[in-house]
Amino acid sequence: MKTLLPRLMSAVLLLTGTAMAETLRMGIFPYHSPEQLVRLHKPLKDYLAHESRQRIRLLSAPDFDRFIRRTREGRYQVLITAPHLGRIAEREYGYRWLGLTLNQSRAVFVSHKDTGPGTLQALSGRRLALPPEIAIIHQAALRHLDKHGLNSAADLTVVTKKSHDAALFSVLRGEADAAAIGLPTWLRYDLAEKAALRVFAQSETLPGFALMTHPALPPEVAQALRNALYRFESTPGGSAYFDRTGLEGIRAVNDRDLEQLDRYLAGIGATGRQ
């Protein structure tokens, strides 16, 4: 009977889901399809798991809104997300910063070389595809239009798509005349169709992705993840990962980053959308 007890306890844990508490859930902002996210970020997940001696599972969500909701609900112990959503996670839900990726993002305006608009002014009366409103790139694109005298409500038609990829594909499919997407999406896109596209405008620069840990994560585990993360760049696998993703490396967050992100949050009322 004694020998059966550990097996029975294991079965109970599996059925109740308690055993999964030992596996850290790494949530990746759904800026690409799930298959692409797994392929891109698996090397980082594997390295962090090995170095911290933690089991880690990659997760995402079908869309931005559900990813934000799951972040709020604490479903992710480790978070890779858009910088302004990282700021929300810190201010509203207590997530702690591991750092920001070194790359600077921006809204990249893209169109067909032959048939699409070649300037911001040429967008007047045309269709512009954007990722969801909560995306910082959506807001950066609108700010850039406004800066150049274009009213997104009156001068053109904004077509909101569920992701950066979907916004770009809408140009290729003729559903929009142009798109504004994040720079990492544009750099990563390497299919043959890219040769037919051009970048005709870019917004102000923005911080890279936010990497964070949930406040309930034990401090020693969070520190082990932090140490591993900052070592990763100097490894062959880390160098390849940052090249492939376009994220370049890791740095600490600073006050200037937070001030810029807070300006975007004030503009979109992001907290109210949670």
The tens digit of pLDDT for each residue in 83-116 reads 999 999 999 999 999 999 999 999 999 999 999 9
Determine contact, residues 60/25, Cβ cutoff 8 Å.
Answer: no
Residue positions counted in the chain: 274
- Amino acid code (one letter) for 160: T
- How far apart are the C-alpha atoms of 183 and 188, rounded to whole Å? 9
What local confidence, expressed as pLDDT, does residue 12 receive?
34
- Amino acid code (one letter) for 249: G
- How far apart are the C-alpha atoms of 95 and 273, rounded to whole Å? 18
**Which residues is 234 bridged to in the sheet?**
none
Q: Which two tokens stand for residue 167?
A: 């916004």
Confidence bin at 246 (pLDDT 50/70/90): confident
Q: Which two tokens stand for residue 132?
A: 């969801």
Sign of CA dihedral 117, 123, 129, 134: positive
Classify 72 as helix, strand or coil. helix
Determine contact, residues 198/148, Cβ cutoff 8 Å.
Answer: no
The residue-averaged pLDDT of 51-60 equals 96
Confidence bin at 266 (pLDDT 50/70/90): confident
Average pLDDT of the chain to the nearest whole number: 88
Confidence bin at 268 (pLDDT 50/70/90): low
Classify 179 as helix, strand or coil. strand
Domains of the chain, CATH where assigned: 58-104+207-269 (3.40.190.10), 107-202 (3.40.190.10)
pTM, to two decimals: 0.79
